[in-house]
Structure 1
Amino acid sequence: MDFFFKVSRTMYFCAAVFSASAVFHSTSPCQAEVIDPDSFALKLDENFDWLDVSARGPGTRWTAHTPWNGDFGDAQFTDPVPDFPFTVKNGVLRIEARKSADGKWKSGLLASTDANGDGFKQRYGYFEMRARFPAGEGVWPAFWLASRGVEKAIEVDVVEHYGHAPSQYTASLHIWDRKTPALSKSFHQSVPVVAGALSADFHTYGVAVQEDRIKYFLDRKEVWSIETPRELEHPFTILIDLGLGAGWPIDKTPNPSVMDVDYVRVWSLPPD
């Protein structure tokens, strides 16, 4: 039973009807399911009135590297220093990607656990970020969850936005086989939006992880749903980053490029 939706399902995938203020691209005259987490139990409330971060921990809410010390993309995720790559002003986190004097790009990533697994992590629940993305070719902002076991790792990409495609973003589920990589599986959903809307204003990107299903949301309207993999056995770490590249050229990427994050929140879900 879907306990938290205001509107009933009319289609498996459904975009909201277009209006002058809507972010969704008009694809069909139907209603999307809507989530309202206000009645849920709030477990993490990061409003970025200040930023508690260190390079790798321990003891801070965020660390500036993945817990498994993996880098990716064409910008190096750097240790935090004053005013770079993170700054906070008026309750908004600014993550900056900048090209240094040697021509190399540097940027920022936040993870909610350190290499020892200490920090915030949760297996099931509703995870949400409110953010505004940079515009321009080569930018690759993301909000994602990672659950790592000895043999399997589950990755839930709530949103990955590729700057060369301003009229869409990607939601994904990956089941990584750490012993036999060839057995890994990936599932993707392209979410159409009004061109440029994700960099023009703030929007919320959310995912509800239940025992039987994972549901993805844009501005609290469902945009995709997929069965929860049976391999999900461990809680998720939250990750936020401004990557560059992802296989796409970065020669025209604006320098600097900035991702603004208003908040990150996590709720537990009531039982069915």
Structure 2
Amino acid sequence: MDGPTPGNPLPPPRVPPHADVVFTADFGSTRQWVAGRTWAYPDSGPVNPGDDKLDHLVPDAAYSRSGVFRATRRADGYWDTGLLTTEGSEEAFTVRSGDILQARVRLPGEAGAWPAIWTWRDGDQEIDVFEYHPDHPDLLEFGNHVRGAGHSFQDAAVRPGAWLDLRTEFGPRSVVWSVNGAPVFADHRGVGHGWHAYLIVNLSVSAGRYHPAPAADTTEMSFEVSSLVVRRPAHRDAPCAGTRGSTLRDDRAP
């Protein structure tokens, strides 16, 4: 299913009557988040040029821990960038099938900025809550890489510097994305009943293959996440949690 049409609108966002808040992001918490490394990048980082990124991940608190995710140019052509993940953290929180994620974000405006909220586990399990590239200033990208679906949402409310309220329901039969309270895409693929994955929030920098690299006179950029919560229907069973006390490790299949 693509976006809504006048004769075929999407239903309003659904909140199960007994959906409990199971995760409220505290980006300064080292129990919740690991900074500057993830197995979504080769060898857990710090660079990922194969994905057209100029990122050089850093654990510096100034790049992510306030909820403002920053990137600054380096002399070697890479950019020091902020990334947080629940993978490898003490709490090791995982989003599960049926969960609802809600986030409020402020989009960047600099060419080359590539903010995203997404999931990852075992070398895959990626659902993109959103991706954004300012060279397409009114466009958000959504993706279900678990079952092969995606959508580009175009709207005047999407623009550099704008605040957006995002909502993603990770349904077993359909992942549903909403923007500013209105559902805009249902993929009718879903994630299956046993799906679970870690959260990643980061600001990448495009290398120029698919989207323009930063201008030569750009030296820093940022995007902000002022809130992020995950709700879970109370009737859901409780397995599929991460491993408490674990250290960051490569969970990818050999």
Q: What is the TM-score with the length of structure 1 in the denominator?
A: 0.70
Aligned counterpart, 2:12: 34
Q: Partner amino acid for 1:61? A: Q
Identify which of 140, 154, 172 aligns with 2:143. Answer: 172
Q: Partner amino acid for 1:122? A: V
Q: Calculate percent identity across the aligned residue pairs.
A: 18
**Relative contact order (alpha carbons < 8 A, sep ≥ 6): 1 or 2 greater?**
2
* In the alignment, structure 1 residue 155 sits paired with structure 2 residue 126: yes
Instruction: Report if the CA contact (8 A) 2:128-2:142 is conserved.
Output: yes
Give 1:65-76 correspondences, 5 Å limit: 65-68=37-40, 69=44, 71=48, 72-76=51-55
Shift of 1:47: 4.9
Secondary structure in 2 matching 1:14: coil
Aligned counterpart, 1:3: none
Aligned counterpart, 2:175: 214
Cα shift readout 1:2-51 (whole Å, capped 9, x = no counterpart): xxxxxxxxx96227xxxxxxxxxxxx598653326495200001255xx1
Identify which of 21, 29, 46 aligns with 1:52. Answer: 29
Instruction: Report if the CA contact (8 A) 1:95-1:260 is conserved.
Output: yes
Q: Say how many residue pairs are matched.
A: 223
Structure-1 separation of matches of 2:93 and 2:61: 24
Greater Cα offset, 221-230 or 102-111: 221-230
- Unpaired runs of 5+ residues, structure 2, are 237-254
Instruction: Report if the CA contact (8 A) 1:14-1:30 is conserved.
Output: yes
Structure-2 separation of matches of 1:207 and 1:82: 27
- Unpaired runs of 5+ residues, structure 1, are 1-10, 16-27, 54-59, 176-184
Instruction: Report if the CA contact (8 A) 1:131-1:261 is conserved.
Output: yes
Instruction: Report if the CA contact (8 A) 1:36-1:220 is conserved.
Output: no
Aligned counterpart, 2:116: 142
Aligned counterpart, 1:120: 93
Identify which of 225, 230, 238 aligns with 1:266. Answer: 230
Distance 1:105 1:265, change over 3 A: same
Instruction: Report if the CA contact (8 A) 1:130-1:205 is conserved.
Output: yes
Cα-Cα RMSD: 3.0
Instruction: Report if the CA contact (8 A) 2:151-2:185 is conserved.
Output: yes
Q: Partner amino acid for 1:171? A: F
Aligned counterpart, 2:149: 187
* In the alignment, structure 1 residue 252 sits paired with structure 2 residue 252: no
Structure-1 separation of matches of 2:172 and 2:192: 11
Instruction: Report if the CA contact (8 A) 2:117-2:200 is conserved.
Output: yes
Instruction: Report if the CA contact (8 A) 1:126-1:206 is conserved.
Output: yes
Cα shift readout 1:91-139 (whole Å, capped 9, x = no counterpart): xx11111102444312111111218x96111312101221101112211
Structure-2 separation of matches of 1:112 and 1:45: 12
Distance 1:200 1:267, change over 3 A: same
4+ residue runs of structure 1 moved beyond 4 angstroms? Answer: 28-32, 36-39, 229-232
Structure-2 separation of matches of 1:162 and 1:82: 24
